[in-house]
Amino acid sequence: MDIRETTVDDLAAARDAGEVTLIDVRYPDEYAEGHIPGAHLIPLPELGDRVAEVPADSEVHVVCQSGGRSAQGAELLGRHGFDAVSVAGGTKGWIASGRPVDKN
């Protein structure tokens, strides 16, 4: 299965238009250090057991720190019938672009 990727800029545009479901597949400590506003945390090792929590009515953007785990997450969601894309550059790319992050 080919994994589709999207850019941080495309994610930002979709997010600003209110058209995005964003799943962060990093670990809770990484998420707490800084995440894209609106991202829902489901760590990659838990994603297979928690797919029911992911809305199936729109494209799902999957993000991690730099793009490796998000590709795995997008592939897993794709196998479950989701329209999922991996965010190339991940949270690092989002932060480097100067966009806001939430911390908690």
Judge whether 80 and 49 are in contact, CB under 8 Å: no
Catalytic-role residue among 64, 71, 74, 85: 64
Catalytic residue list contains 46: no
Q: From CA 30, how far away is CA 14, in angstroms rounded?
A: 24
Residues 6 or more apart whose Cβ sits within 8 Å of residue 98: none
Q: What are phi and psi of 87, to 5 degrees?
A: -90, 105
Q: Are strands 84-87 and 60-63 parallel, antiparallel or unpaired?
A: parallel
Which of 96, 90, 98 lies closest to 39 in space, CA to CA?
Answer: 90
Q: Which residues are catalytic?
A: 64
